[in-house]
Structure 1
Amino acid sequence: MLDNELDIKKAQKGDHEAFIRLFRQLESQLYRLAKTILTQDEDCADALQETTLKVYKGLASLKQPKFFKTWVIRILINECNQLLRMRERTVAVAEIPEETAASYAHFEDSGSVDLQSCINRLDESLRLAIVLFYYEDLSIKQIAGVLGISEGAVRARLHRARRLLSEQIQPVREEGLAHE
């Protein structure tokens, strides 16, 4: 049995230290994922806090410890989406900070590619697929379970996201070659 699975079983029986160890291992991954969806640090912190509470309260109901990570990710995505829905109801118009516009102008002028900026410009469904697959190392099957879609839909999203990223990167590459 893996250490994680042992910690999950201990946490299910009320071991607070085991629960803390589990969350410390996932903390940076969960924050990155929340940041992908929400972009604002305050919202990410809120989503992580709510996720932690829901996982803690519902941990006893988790049947198979091997699905712990995907279960936590699904809860986090749901919390992030809930925050987005609440924001849509309360914020009529979002202002784009000047530094964001300036950073995009710098990106366009610099001739270099910031992959994270390109990923952030993708539609949320494509961005999530890319982040879960490449940054969180989840399998297509796990991503399908987390997002509640078919494996074919995950493959299609990954294919489309890769194509769009390639289209964003290719003009910069060609421009760089023309200057050399």
Structure 2
Amino acid sequence: MDENLLKRLMSSDQTAFKVFYEDYIQKAFGLAVGILKDREMAKDAVQETFIRVYRYISMYDAAMPFDPWFYRILHNECMRIAKKEGKTKKNIVWKEELHTEATFDENVEGSELIHAIYSLKDSFRIPIVMKYLHGFSEKEIATIMNLNQNTVKSRLFHARKKLSKHFDRLIKEDLL
């Protein structure tokens, strides 16, 4: 985040908050959908995240990077909503609903990749979504999810392994 914008945000500048909101809303929503697999719950999580940031921006330590702080609030809010709603919904969110910065080909492999990612357990899916659909580093993911960086690396490794097995099976069955 731009240092000047951050200072204005921390001084409760309404215009700065609007700029911040417009800069972060799409990526925040895409990540929330990736975590919760439900558009309506994701909207609630994002809305509550922005409210929390607005209320608690004075508690933010400007010596630390802003993005991990913001996305940790979003992640925690998603986890709170998921817990409240029970387990994350099992319905698959297709590529046109993701609203991420990532783009996929309009082909079977793209649809199958999304399906495979969203069929992973939360502990594997969320780091994959953060890293490959949103471009977070392993260190940022660890900070956001409050995990050890080696745990994140391990989960990414195992998630890629599971995805590879999924596609190997599809190739053997000649479904791709």
For Structure 1 versus Structure 2, the TM-score category normalised by the shorter chain is 0.7 to 0.9
Give 1:64 deviation, angstroms.
2.2
Q: TM-score of the superposition, structure 1-length normalised?
A: 0.79
Are the aligned partners of 1:133 and 1:140 in contact in 2 as well (CA < 8 Å)? yes
Q: Which residue pairs with 1:75 in the alignment?
A: 73
Q: Match of 2:39?
A: 41
Q: Is the Cα contact below 8 Å between 2:72 and 2:145 reproduced in 1?
A: yes
Aligned partner of 2:57 in structure 1 is 59
Deviation of the 1:12 alpha carbon: 0.4
Of residues 138, 141, 156, the one that matches 1:158 is 156
Cα distance in 1 for partners of 2:174, 2:38 equals 33
1:116 aligns to what? 114
Question: Which AA in structure 2 matches 1:154?
Answer: V
Per the alignment, do residues 19 and 65 of structure 1 end up closer, same or farther by CA in structure 2, a change over 3 Å counting?
A: farther
Matched residue, 1:133:
131
Q: Deviations over 1:35-92 (max 9, x none)?
A: 1222222211111111010001111111126621111111111111111121129xxx
Q: Which SS does the other structure have where 2:136 is aligned?
A: coil
Structure of higher RCO (CA pairs closer than 8 Å, 6+ residues apart): 2
Partner SS, residue 48 of structure 2: helix
Runs of at least 5 residues in structure 1 that lack an aligned partner in the other structure: 101-110
User: For residues 105-153 of structure 1, what are the alpha-carbon distances to aligned partners after superposition, in whole Å with 9 as ceiling and x for unaligned?
Assistant: xxxxxx9432111110011111111111112211111111111111110
- Aligned to 2:120, the other structure's residue is in SS state coil
Name the residue aligned to 2:140: 142
1:139–1:69 distance in 2 versus 1, CA, 3 Å:
same
Aligned to 1:50: 48
**Superposition CA RMSD, Å:** 2.5
Cα distance in 2 for residues equivalent to 1:160 and 1:170: 15
Q: Tell me, yes or no, if structure 1 residue 26 matches structure 2 residue 53.
A: no
Q: Which runs of 5+ in 2 are unaligned?
A: 93-106
- SS in structure 1 of the partner of residue 85 of structure 2: helix
- 1:15 is aligned to 13
